[in-house]
Chain A
Amino acid sequence: MKVHLSRRYWFAASHRLHSDALSDEANRETYGKCNNPYGHGHNYFLEVTLSGPVDSATGMVCNLADLDGFVHSHILERFDHDHLNLRPEFAGIVPTTENLCVVIDGIVRRGFTQAHLHSVRIEETMMNSFEYAGGAELHP
C-alpha cells in the first residue's frame, strides 16, 4: 500500500515583495508593507511530503537520514539566514511564498532521487500556508 511520509523543517529568511514590472506606486498598492524597501523576515516552516510503496525490508518509504541530509545541504544551508531577493534562484522572480514553494519543489524534485516527491508545503506565518505538488493536483 502507498504511504505519504512528511517531514517538517524550518528556516529563517528575509524577503521583499517588489515586482520590476510594476511602478513604485503599483508595488506599494499590491504588496503593502511587504514592499518596504529593506525587506522583512519570517520563520518559514517547510513540510516535505514523499510518497510511494513501503519497502518490505526496511518498513520505509525513504530513509529519513537521506531526506534530512538532502534538505539540510540543498535547502536549509542555501536559504537559512539569507535574503531571498539576493539569491540567484529568485533573479527576476518575486519571492512570495507561492514562488518559494515552486523553487523548493523544483530543487527537491530534480535532486532527490531516493523517493518520489509528492508535494511541499510552507507556512509563512501561523496564518498562511502554501502547498505545491509540481503542478499536479494535491490529493487522490
Chain B
Amino acid sequence: MVYLTRKAEFSASHVYHNPAFSAEENLRVFGKCNNPNGHGHNYTLEVTVKGPIDATTGFVVDLKELKEVMHREVLDNMDHRFLNKEVAEFSGPQALIPTTENLAIVIWQRLAPKLKVAQLHRVRIYETPDLFADCYGEV
C-alpha cells in the first residue's frame, strides 16, 4: 500500500453564524468570525489516496485524473466564492456552518464517491498555516 498526496489551493470567504442563536450568542461563540460581511482565507487542500502500485504504470493513481476530480468536485465550485452564499452545503435552510471541520467533511463527501481509481484516505484542509482539519471518513 502506498499513500499519495496531491495539494491544491483555493481562496474563499465565509462567515460563522447560526440563525438559531441570538446576536449575542453568535458573537460570543464565533467572535470576529461572526462579522456580518464575512472574511476570507487562502485554503490549502491536501488529498491523500492509497492503493497498491500498478505493475504496468508504476502509479497508485493517475495524477491527471486525481487533479481533474479535485477541480471538478471542489475547486471549480469553491475557489473565489463566498461559501455561505454560493456553495450548496453551506447555504440554504439546511446550511452547515462553513468551519474548517465542516469543509473537511464536505470535501470528503464530494470526493469519496467520485474516486474510482484509488481509495480516498484523508482530506486535509488548512485554513491558515497554523490551523487545519483532517477527515478520514470515520463515522
Contacts and interface: CB of A to CB of B under 8 A. Distances in A.
Interface of A: 1-9, 49, 54, 57-61, 63-65, 139-140
A129 to B, nearest CB: 15
A9 B130 contact: yes
B84 to A, nearest CB: 11
Contacts of A5: 100-101, 131-134
Contact of B101 (A3, A65, A140): A3
A1 B105 contact: yes
A59 B102 contact: yes
Interface size class of B (residues with CB under 8 A): 20 to 34
Interface string B14-31: 001010110000000111
30 contacts: A1-B105, A1-B109, A1-B137, A1-B139, A2-B138, A3-B101, A3-B134, A4-B133, A5-B101, A5-B132, A5-B133, A7-B131, A8-B129, A8-B131, A9-B130, A49-B134, A54-B99, A54-B101, A54-B102, A54-B105, A57-B21, A58-B18, A58-B30, A58-B97, A59-B96, A59-B101, A60-B97, A61-B101, A139-B136, A140-B136
Contacts of A2: 135-136, 138-139
A54 B104 CA distance: 11
Interface string B99-139: 11110110011000000000000000000011111111111
B125 to A, nearest CB: 10
Contacts of B131: 5-8, 64
Given A58-B18, A58-B97, A140-B138, A3 B130 contact: no
Contacts of B134: 3-6, 49
Contacts of B100: 5
Interface of B: 16, 18, 20-21, 29-31, 96-102, 104-105, 108-109, 129-139
Residue from B99, B101, B133 whose CB has the most chain A CB atoms within 10 Å: B101
Residue from A57, A58, A65 whose CB has the most chain B CB atoms within 10 Å: A58
4 nearest A-B residue pairs (beta carbon): A59-B97, A8-B130, A59-B99, A4-B134
Contact of B99 (A1, A6, A60, A65): A60
Given A6-B132, A58-B18, A60-B97, 5 more contacts: A3-B105, A4-B134, A5-B132, A5-B134, A6-B134
Contacts of B108: 1
Contacts of A61: 101, 133
A65 B98 CA distance: 17
Contacts of B105: 1, 3, 54
A3 B18 contact: no
